Structure 1
C-alpha cells in the first residue's frame, strides 16, 4: 500500500510541476486524485488512484462513477470541449486479468472522446510507460523506492502534505485573483447613476426627450456642434426606471467582479474608456437620442473575456460559461429588439477587451503588448469617429433633424433652419413633406415668399393629405395676390377637413377677395 501511494504522489507531483496539469480534487484519505489539463478544444482529465481493487466489474463501476462526478464538477469548464479520461490505478499485487486488453463496456458520456485505464504494480510497470506515451508527457518521470517500513511511511506523508499544501495554495491564489480590491468605484458609480436618475425625474422626467438632452444625453446634432462631452455624460443617464434597474443590477454584479479582478484603477479605466468607445459607436450608427451605461457595462464583459483569454482554465472553471452565455444573450437581444442600441453594446464590448489588454491583469508583465493594444484601441476609436462623421444617413436622419429644426424655430434661427433642411432633404425618405413645410416657414420669416410657396407646393405634392401644408399654401397665395391658386388650395383643404373654423374663415376671405375684383 505504501509503495503504491509513494508512486501515486510522485506521479501527481510530476503532472502538476512539469506537465501543466491542475489539481481538481483530493479524496479525504488521499488515495484518489483528479487532475486536468485544458487545450483549445480538448481537455485531458487524469484520475490517479491507489485504492485497492480486484475485479474488472468493480473497476468499471469506479471508472464511470469518477467520470460522471468529474463531468458534473467541471460542467461549466468543459463548455464545447471534448474530454479524454486517463485512469491510473496503482496496485501492489498481481491481478487476476490481463488489464492491458480490458475494454469498458458501459456507455460513455457524449462529451467523452476516449477513456483509458492503466494499472501499475511493482512487478509490471509497462502500463505506466504506456500512460506517459499516450498522454504525451514532455519530461520523463524517474524515481526509486529506496526506503521501506516507517521511513517510507514518513516519506509518503511528506509527499502527500506537499500535494495538499500545493492544492490549498492554489485555492488561495484563485480566491486572491477575484479579491484584489474592494469595489469602491462600483459603489461610487452606482450612487452617481441613481442621483442623476432622480434629478431627471424631478426636472421633467427621465423619458422626456428634452430633459434628457438638457442633462447631457447623446444627441448627435449637439455633438456635431461641438458638445463632445455628451459621449461621457450620457453614460450616467437612464431612460425610465426599468432601464435604470437592469443596468444597475448588471453594474453591481459585473462591476464588483471586474473591480475585484483588475483593481480600482484598472477597473476605472476599463469602465470609462469602453463607455466612450460605446458612446462613439452609438454616435456613428444610431441617430436616436441615447443614454445609459450599457456601453461601459459591455466593456466590463469585454474585460472578462480578456481575462478568459489570459487565464482560460481559471475562467472556465469559475465564471466562463455564465459570462459567455450572458454576452451571447445580450448581443442577440440587441439585434432582435429595435430599441436596443446594439452599436453601443458591441462598441463597448470590443473597447473593454482592448482596454483590458492595455492595462493588463495585475502582476502581469508585457510593456510591448500594452503599447500594441493602446495603438489598436486608438485606431479603433479613430475609425469609429471618422465613420460616424461621414455617415450622413445617421447624422442627417430625418426624424432627429426635424427635432433639431423645431428647436431652431423656437430660437428664431431661420437661416440655420434653411441650411439644416437643405442638408437633410437628400437623405430623407418618409418626412420630406414635413421638412419642406418647416423650411417654408423659415423662408417666410426671411422674406422669401416665392421660395416658401415652391416648398409648400412640393410638400403637398408629396403628401396630398397634408392639412397644414395646404393651409399655409392657400394663405401665402392669398397674401401674394394669387387668388385663383389660393381658392384651389383652400378647396383642397376643405376637402380634407370642412369642420375647422380657421379653414372656413380662410376660404371665405379668399372668396370675398376674389369677388371684389
Structure 2
C-alpha cells in the first residue's frame, strides 16, 4: 500500500468535511466513505474509495454497485442536483484499458440531466484529476502540504482519527437534539382531552351540538359576541370516539417527538399557539360548529418543518421526507372528504411553524430571527381577528 495515496484519500475526505459535507456511510475498514451536503446544490453526494485497482473488470463492477446505491439515494432527495461524484484513489491505474469506463458520466434515471460521474486518481494523474474535480465541485481543492521527513502513513492515520472522532461527535450532537426534553405536556394534553370527552359524554354526548357549545366548541356567533376563549377551548374537545382516538394517536406520536426536540415549555407554547391559529383559520373560512385538536396537531407538523429549516441535512436524513408526505396526504384527504375543517388544519400548520420560530430550538438562540417571527405572528393573528370581527 502506498503511503502517499493513503494520505491523499484522507485529505480528500477531510476537504469535503470542511466544505460542510457529512459522512452518511462508511465501510468497516473505512476505505469506502459516502458524504452528503445539502448546501452544495450541484454535487450533494460524494463517494471516496481507497483501493489499489488491478483490473478494469473490478472497476466496472464497483461502479455499477455504486451507481445502484446512488439511484437509491437520489430517490429520497426532493431538491434538484446536477451530479453525484464517485472518486477512486489507487496507487496505479488498472493494467488493462479502463479510461472508456469513466470517460462519460452515467445518467441517473429519476432525475433529469443528473449524472453519476467517476474519477480515478492514481500516482500519475493527481494534479490533473484534482483540477478536473475542482471544476465539478466548483470549489478549489487545496490539500495541505506534508513535510518530506514525516511518514505519510503516520500522517494519514492521524488525519483518519481526527475525521472519525469528528464524525462520532457529530453523531452524538445530532442524537442529543432528539433527546433534549422529556414528554410531560404530551401526556397532560392527552389526559385532558380524554377527561373532557368523558365529561361531554356524561353531559349528553360529544356529538350533541348543545353539549359542544356548552363546553366551548368553535361557534362563530358566540365568538363574535366576545367569547374569545373559544379560540382555545376547541383544542380539547372531540366529536365522537373515532375523532378522539385518531387525534390522540397523532398527538402521542407527534407530541413525543416535538416535545423531545423543543422541551416541555416550548412544546406547550407551540401547541397552544397552533391550536389558536387553527381555530382562527376555521373561524375565518367556515361557519359550522367545530372542535378538535387537529389544528394544534398540524402545528406539531409545522414545528418539525421549522426544525428542518435549521437542520436541513438532519431533517431530510431522518424524518423530513415522511413528514412532508404526511402533511400532503392529510391536506389532500381534507380536500376530498367532506366535513373536514382544512382551514383549521392549514391555520394550525402555519401557527405551529411561527410559534416554533418565536421560541426557536433549545441552545440555538437567534434573537433577530425570533423577534421578526414574533412580529409576523402578532401581525397575522391581528389581521385574522380584524377580518373575522
Q: Smaller-chain TM-score range?
A: over 0.9
Q: CA separation in 2, counterparts of 1:122 and 1:209? A: 80
Alignment-derived partner of residue 145 in structure 2: 143
Describe the superposition over 1:184-209 as per-residue Cα deviations: whole angstroms up to 9, x where unpaired.
Answer: 11111111111111111121111111
Say if 1:106 and 1:39 are closer, same or farther in 2 by CA, change over 3 A.
closer
Give runs of aligned pairs for residues 189-338 of structure 1, distance below 5 A.
189-338=189-338
Alignment-derived partner of residue 115 in structure 1: 116
Alignment-derived partner of residue 352 in structure 1: 352
Answer whether contact 2:84 2:115 (CA < 8 A) is retained: yes
Say if 1:42 and 1:102 are closer, same or farther in 2 by CA, change over 3 A.
closer
By percentage of residues, which structure has more helix? 1
Describe the superposition over 1:253-290 as per-residue Cα deviations: whole angstroms up to 9, x where unpaired.
Answer: 11111111111121111110111111111112111111
- The SS at the match of 2:203 is coil
Q: CA separation in 2, counterparts of 1:10 and 1:343? A: 53
Say if 1:40 and 1:360 are closer, same or farther in 2 by CA, change over 3 A.
farther
Describe the superposition over 1:478-517 as per-residue Cα deviations: whole angstroms up to 9, x where unpaired.
Answer: xxxxxxxxxxxxxxxxxxxxxxxxxxxxxxxxxxxxxxxx
Q: CA separation in 2, counterparts of 1:161 and 1:237? A: 56
Q: CA separation in 2, counterparts of 1:100 and 1:143? A: 32
Alignment-derived partner of residue 86 in structure 1: 85
Give runs of aligned pairs for residues 34-183 of structure 1, distance below 5 A.
34-39=34-39, 43-72=43-72, 75-76=75-76, 78-82=77-81, 84-96=83-95, 97=97, 99=99, 102-103=102-103, 108-111=108-111, 113-125=114-126, 126-138=128-140, 140-144=142-146, 146-147=148-149, 151-183=151-183
Alignment-derived partner of residue 15 in structure 2: 14
Q: CA separation in 2, counterparts of 1:163 and 1:367? A: 33
Instruction: State the shift of 1:71 in Å.
Output: 4.1
Say if 1:235 and 1:43 are closer, same or farther in 2 by CA, change over 3 A.
farther
Answer whether contact 1:74 1:317 (CA < 8 A) is retained: no
- TM score, norm. by length of structure 1: 0.70
Bigger RCO of structures 1 and 2 (CA < 8 A, at least 6 apart): 2
Q: CA separation in 2, counterparts of 1:43 and 1:153? A: 30
Instruction: State the shift of 1:214 in Å.
Output: 1.0
Say if 1:42 and 1:14 are closer, same or farther in 2 by CA, change over 3 A.
closer
- The SS at the match of 2:64 is helix
Count of equivalent residues: 385
- The runs of 5 or more residues in structure 2 that have no matched partner are none
- The SS at the match of 2:287 is coil
Q: Which moved more, 1:161-170 or 1:340-349?
A: 161-170
**Rg: which structure is higher?**
1
- The SS at the match of 2:33 is strand
- The runs of 5 or more residues in structure 1 that have no matched partner are 390-517
Answer whether contact 2:105 2:117 (CA < 8 A) is retained: no
